[in-house]
Structure 1
Amino acid sequence: MRLWIALCVLAVALPAASAPNMLLNGGFERGTTGWSLPGEAQVVSEGAREGRNCLRISTNSPGWTVAGQDCLLPRGAKRVRLSGWMRTQNVRMGANPWEKARLQITFYNANGELVGGYPPGFDIDGTTEWTLYTRDYEVPADAVRVSLIAGLHNATGTAWFDDLRLEAFDMQNNPLQPITESQTDTRDWYPLDSSPDDYTKPAVVDLSRYLHRPAGKHGFVTVKDGKFVFQDGTPVRFWGVNIVAGNVFMDKTTAERTAARLAKFGCNMVRLHHMDASWAQPNIFGNHPTSTLNLSPEMLDRLDYFIYQCKRHGIYIYMDLLVHRKFQRDDGVRDWETLENGAKIAAHYNRRLIELQKKYAHDLLTHYNPYTKTRYVDEPTIAMMEIINESTLFWLGGYGALPPSYIHEINDLFTEWCSKKGVSRPQGSVPDLLRQKNSTVGRFLYEVQTATYREIYNYLRSIGVKVPIAGSNHWENWTGDVLSNAQLDYIDRHAYWDHPQGGYSPTNRFNNSPMVKQPAGSTITWMGRQQMEGMPFIVTEWNNCWMNEWISEAPLLMASYGSMQDWDGLLQFDYSGGDWAPRMEGSFNVGNKPHVMAARVPAALVFLRNDVPPTGKSYIYSFKDADDWLLRPMGDTVPGGLMLMQRVACQKDAPQTPVPDVPTDNFTSQHGLLRWSREGVFLINAPRTQGAVGFIGGKALDCQNVRIEAQTPFCQVVLSSLDDQPIAHSKRLLLTAVARAENSGQMYNPSRTSLLDEGKPPILLEPVRATVTLKGIRATKVHILDHHGRRTGKTLPVTGGKITIGNEKTFWYEVEVAPATAK
């Protein structure tokens, strides 16, 4: 091994001298500073090669268990040297030769896209002593960032790392100085006024008029012709959020303010999530130390009151059942100590776990709410529910966390199933056969999962549940799993852009790449492959996650294409609070991200009003309920960009149509209302909503009734009709202008892929400087609105149809328009 490494190193011209280390804390002497670490990683002093500390990563479950750090390449970098010490103990290789203890780097361009492929790293198994590994790499063209990982790649065992280094050199092999930190110049940004809102006062920005008051006034939600409709035939789309864990069990004042705020922002659905999690403070069991068999009366009372407030404000409830429940000693669950939270995988086939799911559902759904004066099963505010969150028997990664007894159980079930079917049982365990994509085990998993869904589904119906029910919503998209879920009432899926890596602390890694520059690889195109023709499709978890600095791009993109695809619901994950927050925190909580909340207003109008209707022609992807299809990715032959041009859905045994030609850089919808380019510009040109999102600074962008000329490099400027008339005939318009936001003093690492300092209050907002020219309409007055969407008493001049914005310390303006002159 050492001889092979030496030959590789000698194959390139090595710099003669060393350079400063681009890695922050490469020797781990400052603990975890600078590193994104998985839960299995520890900085330890025992066994350190040099100095006080080293990094140890140990796991018995195969998975992506790696530490990471990103570095910005210095200007002129042509060569990078990776070096580091590693030792291993009992590292067992995964299914592929490279799945061992690993030390590797990769390169990325300014859009966050991988460039240069996957250069060779160092992959070690077995037991080894401290060994120095060194290799030099040419920097690919367009690379601006280098990412290092160190850990176990789908392998088990223990690995130690110490004195890791990344050094950069120019063309002449001169060492280059690393960039040590990055801080945004926020000197002309303005602080958010986080004073409490008075929800009793009218506001220009108030979308509650689109909500049913009370929720349930049209009866229970049903499914008709593949869409959600109420009993009286009223169609509905759901635009909302998730409220998570302990935040569900709020006091009465917070419940009232939260429901009022959500209604004001146009949210007509809340998904109640992670109520059963052991880490939730509190949880629905009252955090009982030894049992999850009984629901807490106090927590039920809090839940009852919040549901009552949602009903009053026209907000429907999406009820989760099994999510992250940690079974306890007195629950009668085998190996409860080591069974994963939520009993992923096992909950689909273990009889005790299935019966406990039924008991929980019975106790929760037959509970009487004294505020609404109904049982949950009789309350039309509760619009739909799912059986289990993010779990599927087709998820290979989930088997690694199963206690051995549950692996034995599913192996025995497979043996019994093969005997009943009269087929020869393939050699190997169920997870091994799944890894090999064995078609027999694929059929077995499909039948077991579907049978359990049907059993619990029928039980829910037997206790009085009247609303649509889904199975699960895993982020993977195997055909067998999607088909299994299609045996119930609707399809639910999840997807995230720039999900935090290695944990949820701001010091963990994120890519910080703007989705607007990767249209064909966006979460929209990922989810679009899983829509089933003739069934409602809802996304109950999506987000572009903080600390990504471009997250205000997301709401309008999701709403526009979700509307064009004719999706039935979009619920952003997650939300808390009844007011603006003084400081941003949490990777997912949009409630304290003012730029995202402001951007949700025009997005809500687009989705709830169907401002972007489906394209006239759909592309239908045909698949088969055949053994050799079940372990294939759903829609694997559909180009991502196609979903930005026309509606896409999949259908079993549909006539197979050729895949249309799809461009790679610029995507225009069939009806011409949406345009999205890889340069990072999105344009919506619909009758009631017109505007632009992305890197639009320095460009003149035209829609039918507005021209946008922004100076702010990244922002969105959107014009929305407030009276539901086309902009050309509307008397009141809302102008939304949003860019970035940061906490005061927020500090990034050099590559802006981790936070060195989260910052403190107040939140700072980047002003959007732009000239907005109205075409074919005459504005008579432009009112500057405050952060609660009310008039401040200040106005802007309108000259020749031009409105110049940028100094008003707001993200909303109300435009009054003179009536059109008859010709």
Structure 2
Amino acid sequence: MKIGRSIRVLSMTILCVLTVSSILPYISQPVSANSQQTLFQFYFPWNDGEATSIDLSVYLHKPAGKYGHVYVGSDGRLYVGSQRIRFLGINLVSPAIFAPQSVAEALAKRFAKYGINLVRLHALDAHWTSDNIFRAPGTRELDPTRLDRLDYLVAKLKENGIYVNINLLCYRSFSSSDGLPREVDSMNIKDKHILGFFYKPVRDLQKEFARKLLTHVNPYTGLSYAEDPAIAFIEILNEYGMVFGWFDGAVDRLPDVFKSELQKKWNEYLRQKYGSTTNLRNAWGRLYSDENLEAGTVRIFTLSEYSNRPTAAQRDWAQFLWYLDYDYFRDMYNYLKNELKVKALVIGTQMTWGGTPNIMQHMDLADSHGYWNYPAGDFWSGDYYVLNTAMVNNPTSSTIVGMANQKIAGKPHTISEYNHPFPNMYRAEGWVFLSAYGAFHDWDGILPYCYGDPDYGWNFDTRRIMATLDFGQDPQRWAMMITAHMLFVRGDVQVARQWVAVELSRDQEIEFIRSRTAGVWNLPNGRMAGNPAHTALLHGVVVVPSNRSRPPNTLLPRDVPAPSQSVYVSDTGELIWDCRESGRCVFIVNTSRSKVLTGFIGGKRFDLGEIVIEVKNALLNGWATIAIHVIEGSSFRDAKRVLVVAVGLTTNTETKIYNYDNKQLLFTATTDLASIPNLHGLKLTTYRDMGRAPTITEGIEATITIKTSNRATAYALDNIGKRKSSLSVTTSGGNQVISIGSSYQTLWYEVTMTTTTPTSTPTPTTTTPTTPITTPTPTPTPTTPRTTPTTPTPTPTVTTVTVVPVTLSTVVNVPVTVAVTFTVTSPITTVVPVTHTTTV
């Protein structure tokens, strides 16, 4: 062991170089496979709010906002009252937002039971249904009936401890009925939204809607949305911007009446910069013969003719587009905050999908969206496919890497849409990765998209997956909400010890736009600024835009070498992404309160310290997800109650899965399905025939050993979390051994521990657990309004890290070294991120 030591103000760094056996869990020789895999019927009731063994609603603030408004602390994190808060949310989409009162009540209770503390009200303005917020004709008046239903839903969410995110502009279809030129009626929905960036009448319509909605008083709460502390966020615009729209061809498609308005703005911009045609020609080198700045005839730059323009001209155009984005978001932000007195935190739009760091830094927080293998083609017509690759096999091209490179230094960060769409067979992995790395990167909120499907309105009692993005009726995805809460909201996964700062100036952003290095769905971000993919899997990442200082003691991207082998170990030692077996990667979360495996874990044995998991084979070439969480107790050493979740192949009954490329039927899902071909890497489709109810799912066969002499009792749980049958528990070597599998026809199990005689406890293989994010009893918000929140400066203390060597044996026995950092922390936050490197 080599130890280096340095002393800094408020920090102490000790670097230890350890063999991989002290970090990676033991992975043994293959475990014998079970003789036959079986699927069984299983669904989660849409209206289940019963308090059972898996109920997490007790951890929510009831009512939401009881401790005051959500605010940004001086450390750039989200708080309520005196406590940190993280959000586990869900997207609810029109027309479900306007469901009858009985449905709203049931939804609120179900969400709370699964630890959901935020609902994003998306597409209030949906053009695809008459059940939207507007009263026809046009989009200027609010429909009183649907507004009442919205009010009631918000009241019920608040009552159950659930905060709200309101989206102001998603799919509103501006029309001539709103007083606009008739040419607007021929434009597609998103192209209409570009108008607000340069055409004042459309921006005024957006402000009018915001005023009518946000200043309206909810009769069920007695508060307007502008002042209600249960309204945590207001989002100005979903996934759009001027630069984004130009890359997408929206400027090329503008009707002439709107092109002329944009050209006026463009020529005004050039006159302010150059003053005359002569100066402009000298700067650019050439102009077209009919272009004259005094006459306002310098053309706008369409994509189709952009490459014909000189570099200097391209740079001015990129600056102009960037300025229009900046002006729009700052103007809308100021209107909400200063004119409407909105107390909620304001989001502009999504990073790289409309926003850039140098513009979004002026909002209250930044937000991102992420999808793994989003459906390609036209789902509504049935001509679509989803690429069936497991993200676990693609660490450096994962969504995690992309989203981690969008967090702005000193700003809260949320992921308000995320999904691994059906019929991708590995969907459950998404919530393991998002919640684990979300906690590691210290994000503030994560939300799947979406609950239900617009086609089915508010009929949630379908007992089947309704559409490719439907989250609420998919047992494979919905079961992982418990895991997401534990890892992210409860804070089982520790925040990164070391941070990498990626500097990205305003001028760099504009150059990326000018050179078209950026593009639609890929606006400037940390990866574009040179941050290698692997850094986000090893350390925390922040992007530092202009006018912000690089945080102290952060590394630069060049300071972080890539692992020499395909194993990515977080600097906390808790997250391990192991791809040494090509095409059969495994991701492991190993903390004092949670143990999670996802990936191709079939036929392997994992020693995670206090827990050993032996997995038999699984239908998807060995892919499965198993999560084990302490429900009562501070760690597995003193656990009184433990939850086990295990998921594999999940579809609807009689779903037919086809190869999109050759239209070959690959399999039909029935309960007697014993095997399926290897589907990894294929383009899968159902041609929109999703099968029928109920959903059917695979029972993962595994043996779980708990290293304790305490007596364990185990139960299979039904679909609302009630005990339905007992499992056999045996003793082996003084430990408790439990076998789970398809015979119990469930996805989750409860284990209770009863103390027998005092014994020595196993030494933990991970660091001392962090304080849960939301479980401490908060101090009520002071009666005096909080304007500039401050965080008390705590006395630094040294975090103790105990690492015990564990033997490692793998198919490929490669010696690996990992650098572990001991860092000074405060009771509330890590005071200074300190140097930590990982080499494999």
TM bracket, shorter-chain basis: 0.7 to 0.9
Q: Report the residue type matching 1:301 in the other structure.
A: D
Residue 547 of structure 2 corresponds to residue 666 of structure 1 = no
Partner of 2:758: 821
Task: Identify which of 387, 399, 403 aligns with 1:523.
Answer: 399
Partner of 2:577: 676
Partner of 1:501: 376
CA distance in 1, matches of 2:254, 2:703: 58
CA distance in 1, matches of 2:461, 2:709: 34
Q: Report the residue type matching 1:812 in the other structure.
A: W
| Alpha-carbon offset, residue 514 of structure 1 | 1.1
Task: Identify which of 430, 451, 466 aligns with 1:575.
Answer: 451
The one-character-per-residue Cα deviations of 1:459-493 (angstroms, maximum 9, x if unpaired) are: 11211201211211155477xx3311111111111
The one-character-per-residue Cα deviations of 1:205-247 (angstroms, maximum 9, x if unpaired) are: 1111221110001101111225344452321111111101211
Give the 3 Å change call, closer, same or farther, for CA 340–306 of structure 1 in structure 2.
Answer: same
Partner of 1:698: 603
Q: Report the residue type matching 1:429 in the other structure.
A: I
Aligned ranges 1:383-422 → 2 under 5 Å: 383-395=232-244, 396-399=247-250, 400-422=252-274
Contact 2:117–2:163 under 8 Å retained in 1: yes
Structure having the larger proportion of residues in strand? 1
Partner of 2:722: 790
Q: Which one is further off, 293-302 or 734-743? A: 734-743
CA distance in 1, matches of 2:749, 2:459: 23
Task: Identify which of 724, 729, 738 aligns with 1:803.
Answer: 738
What RMSD, in angstroms, separates the aligned Cα atoms of the two structures? 2.3
| Alpha-carbon offset, residue 699 of structure 1 | 1.0
The one-character-per-residue Cα deviations of 1:43-83 (angstroms, maximum 9, x if unpaired) are: xxxxxxxxxxxxxxxxxxxxxxxxxxxxxxxxxxxxxxxxx
Residue 118 of structure 2 corresponds to residue 269 of structure 1 = yes
CA distance in 2, matches of 1:205, 1:434: 57
Contact 2:351–2:360 under 8 Å retained in 1: no
Which secondary structure state, in structure 2, belongs to the residue aligned with residue 585 of structure 1? coil
The one-character-per-residue Cα deviations of 1:243-272 (angstroms, maximum 9, x if unpaired) are: 012111011111011011111111100000
TM-score, normalised by the number of residues in structure 2: 0.72
Partner of 1:620: 501
Task: Identify which of 175, 181, 184 aligns with 1:328.
Answer: 175
Partner of 1:638: 531
Contact 2:64–2:163 under 8 Å retained in 1: yes
| Alpha-carbon offset, residue 502 of structure 1 | 1.5
Residue 41 of structure 2 corresponds to residue 191 of structure 1 = yes
Which secondary structure state, in structure 1, belongs to the residue aligned with residue 236 of structure 2? strand
Contact 2:240–2:354 under 8 Å retained in 1: no
Residue 55 of structure 2 corresponds to residue 206 of structure 1 = yes
Q: How many corresponding residue pairs?
A: 634
Contact 1:391–1:474 under 8 Å retained in 2: no
Q: Report the residue type matching 2:578 in the other structure.
A: S
CA distance in 2, matches of 1:777, 1:362: 63
Partner of 1:740: 649
Give the 3 Å change call, closer, same or farther, for CA 344–779 of structure 1 in structure 2.
Answer: farther
| Alpha-carbon offset, residue 187 of structure 1 | 7.4
| Alpha-carbon offset, residue 507 of structure 1 | 4.6
Partner of 1:473: 350
Q: Report the residue type matching 1:417 in the other structure.
A: Y
Partner of 1:442: 318
Contact 1:242–1:574 under 8 Å retained in 2: yes
- Compare relative contact order (CA 8 Å, sep 6+) and give the higher one, 1 or 2: 2
Which secondary structure state, in structure 2, belongs to the residue aligned with residue 615 of structure 1? coil
Q: Report the residue type matching 2:638 in the other structure.
A: H
Which secondary structure state, in structure 2, belongs to the residue aligned with residue 794 of structure 1? strand
Task: Identify which of 637, 640, 643 aligns with 1:731.
Answer: 640
Q: Report the residue type matching 1:380 in the other structure.
A: P
Q: Any unmatched runs of 5+ in structure 2?
A: 1-34, 288-298, 453-457, 519-523, 551-555, 660-681, 761-840
Give the 3 Å change call, closer, same or farther, for CA 483–755 of structure 1 in structure 2.
Answer: same
Residue 686 of structure 2 corresponds to residue 755 of structure 1 = yes
Q: Report the residue type matching 1:424 in the other structure.
A: L
| Alpha-carbon offset, residue 398 of structure 1 | 4.5
| Alpha-carbon offset, residue 196 of structure 1 | 6.5
Partner of 2:332: 456
Give the 3 Å change call, closer, same or farther, for CA 398–252 of structure 1 in structure 2.
Answer: farther
Contact 1:251–1:302 under 8 Å retained in 2: yes
| Alpha-carbon offset, residue 729 of structure 1 | 1.7
The one-character-per-residue Cα deviations of 1:566-589 (angstroms, maximum 9, x if unpaired) are: 011111110137976422121111
Q: Which one is further off, 775-784 or 433-442? A: 433-442
CA distance in 2, matches of 1:531, 1:474: 9
CA distance in 1, matches of 2:325, 2:77: 25
CA distance in 1, matches of 2:172, 2:395: 36
Partner of 2:156: 309
Give the 3 Å change call, closer, same or farther, for CA 595–528 of structure 1 in structure 2.
Answer: same
Which secondary structure state, in structure 2, belongs to the residue aligned with residue 551 of structure 1? coil
Aligned ranges 1:220-235 → 2 under 5 Å: 220-230=69-79, 232-235=81-84
Contact 1:239–1:569 under 8 Å retained in 2: yes
Q: Report the residue type matching 1:341 in the other structure.
A: I
Contact 2:568–2:576 under 8 Å retained in 1: yes
| Alpha-carbon offset, residue 744 of structure 1 | 1.3
CA distance in 2, matches of 1:318, 1:448: 25
CA distance in 1, matches of 2:592, 2:532: 29
CA distance in 2, matches of 1:643, 1:777: 39
Tell me the percent identity: 29
The one-character-per-residue Cα deviations of 1:401-431 (angstroms, maximum 9, x if unpaired) are: 4334333322331121011122737556334
Q: Any unmatched runs of 5+ in structure 1?
A: 1-184
Give the 3 Å change call, closer, same or farther, for CA 284–476 of structure 1 in structure 2.
Answer: closer
Q: Report the residue type matching 1:705 in the other structure.
A: E
| Alpha-carbon offset, residue 606 of structure 1 | 0.8
Contact 2:44–2:473 under 8 Å retained in 1: no
Partner of 2:207: 358
Q: Which one is further off, 374-383 or 502-511? A: 502-511
Residue 540 of structure 2 corresponds to residue 647 of structure 1 = yes
Contact 1:546–1:587 under 8 Å retained in 2: yes
CA distance in 2, matches of 1:361, 1:704: 54
Q: Which one is further off, 645-654 or 309-318? A: 645-654
CA distance in 1, matches of 2:426, 2:745: 19
Contact 1:528–1:648 under 8 Å retained in 2: yes
Task: Identify which of 812, 819, 822 aligns with 2:748.
Answer: 812
Partner of 1:16: none
Give the 3 Å change call, closer, same or farther, for CA 598–545 of structure 1 in structure 2.
Answer: same
TM-score, normalised by the number of residues in structure 1: 0.74
CA distance in 2, matches of 1:724, 1:657: 39
Q: Report the residue type matching 1:719 in the other structure.
A: I
Which secondary structure state, in structure 1, belongs to the residue aligned with residue 92 of structure 2? strand
CA distance in 2, matches of 1:415, 1:367: 40
CA distance in 1, matches of 2:495, 2:44: 38
CA distance in 2, matches of 1:419, 1:197: 61
CA distance in 1, matches of 2:315, 2:482: 47
